[in-house]
Amino acid sequence: MHILAVTQYTHSQLDQLFTRADELRNYSSPKQRKELAELHKGRQLCSLFYEPSTRTRLSFEAAAVKLGMGVVSTENAREFSSAAKGETIEDTIRVLDAYNFDIIVLRHHETGAAARAAKVSQTPIINAGDGKGEHPTQALLDAYTIYRQFGRLDNLHIVMGGDLANGRTVRSLAQLLSSYPNNRITFVSMPELQIGEDIKDVLKASKTAFQETIDMSSAFKTADIVYWTRLQKERLADPSTLPTDGFVLDPEILTHLPAHAIIMHPLPRVDEISPLTDSDPRAKYFEQAGNGLYVRMALLDQIISKRII
């Protein structure tokens, strides 16, 4: 079973994954952690990163070692490996496949690389981001964060802001939420950085309500979730058209957000969320990152457990 895109998950599979993530999170006493470290002893994960992504790599590797797996790792395969000598990704994967790992986590700079790798691999491949393509575990941890907070992935109003045209995470999450009933999405961005027509088509096809605006405060008033990302001013044709709030989340703008709502961000954040926001109880972005650990543990556990059976 390869994990290439979040769209391959059914709703019931997502439920199972999140339930397992919740279970694994509860192995917290020293005794339970020793038990966990016995669970997949004798299994190995290979981290094959063609471009560095320290956060993603460390969380996959932490997930693996917590489950008792052995880990071997390269964080710069593009420069350091046979790839530099002209080897194709397919050949590299064929060799690693012959090393009999239980899971290969692949990060690649080319869109579609994960699918090409999966085609030649008997070892399960997890796509940890391939160019402008997919990064399914990011979408899974976003969905898991919403699931943990609200106990559901439907009947939600989500406000997505920042660079929606280029942001992989907002595109994936919008798509995923569109598969659940009665969600509503408000896209907050400058006209030239609005969400792509392809995503709008998906929303229309699924009858998911959405609107586009540059007015943060009115969008926030009925929001359950604010999903914020960085808007890079240098991408704007005329930066002077930016509203005075500059799409920055700070205590003032957040007075418009209901108490039950949560604030998410894929991180790293630069200045689009004021540090003053960090102490707001609705700010969940660091917790969200931490959820990545448990989702990845659940994912590795499911892949290996299926192999055992």
Distance CA 153, CA 165 (A): 23
Amino acid code (one letter) for 129: G
Q: Contact at 8 Å (CB) between 125 and 89?
A: no
| Least distance CB 65 / a copy of itself (angstroms) | 3
| Least distance CB 268 / a copy of itself (angstroms) | 4
Q: Contact at 8 Å (CB) between 2 and 9?
A: no
| Least distance CB 139 / a copy of itself (angstroms) | 18
| Least distance CB 182 / a copy of itself (angstroms) | 31
| Least distance CB 79 / a copy of itself (angstroms) | 8
**Under the rule (CB under 8 A), what is the footprint of a copy of itself?**
30, 32-37, 41-44, 46, 52, 54-55, 57-59, 61-62, 65-66, 70-77, 79-82, 85-87, 91-92, 94-101, 267-270, 286-287, 289-290, 293, 308
Determine the longest span between alpha carbons in the chain, in angstroms. 60
Distance CA 176, CA 153 (A): 9
Q: How far is CA 238 from the centre of its chain?
A: 31
Query: Which lies closer to a copy of itself via its Cβ, residue 5 or residue 77?
Result: 77
**Close Cβ partners of 36 (under 8 Å, ≥ 6 residues apart):** 24, 27, 66, 67, 68
Distance CA 79, CA 84 (A): 6
Query: Which lies closer to a copy of itself via its Cβ, residue 7 or residue 32?
Result: 32
Query: Which lies closer to a copy of itself via its Cβ, residue 189 or residue 288?
Result: 288
Query: Which lies closer to a copy of itself via its Cβ, residue 80 or residue 155?
Result: 80
Q: CA torsion sign, 186 to 192 to 193 to 197? A: positive
Query: Which lies closer to a copy of itself via its Cβ, residue 68 or residue 112?
Result: 68
| Least distance CB 297 / a copy of itself (angstroms) | 10
What does the radius of gyration of the chain's CA atoms come to, in whole angstroms?
Answer: 20
| Least distance CB 162 / a copy of itself (angstroms) | 14
Q: How many residues does the chain have?
A: 309
Q: Contact at 8 Å (CB) between 186 and 159?
A: yes
Classified as helix, coil or strand, 195 is coil
Structure token digits, residue 47: 């981290």
Query: Which lies closer to a copy of itself via its Cβ, residue 53 or residue 206?
Result: 53
Q: Contact at 8 Å (CB) between 134 and 171?
A: no
Query: Which lies closer to a copy of itself via its Cβ, residue 62 or residue 248?
Result: 62
Cite the active site residues.
55-56, 85, 107, 135
Nearest to 306 by CA among 136, 103, 35: 103
Q: What is the dihedral of CA 31, 34, 36, 38, to 10 degrees?
A: -140
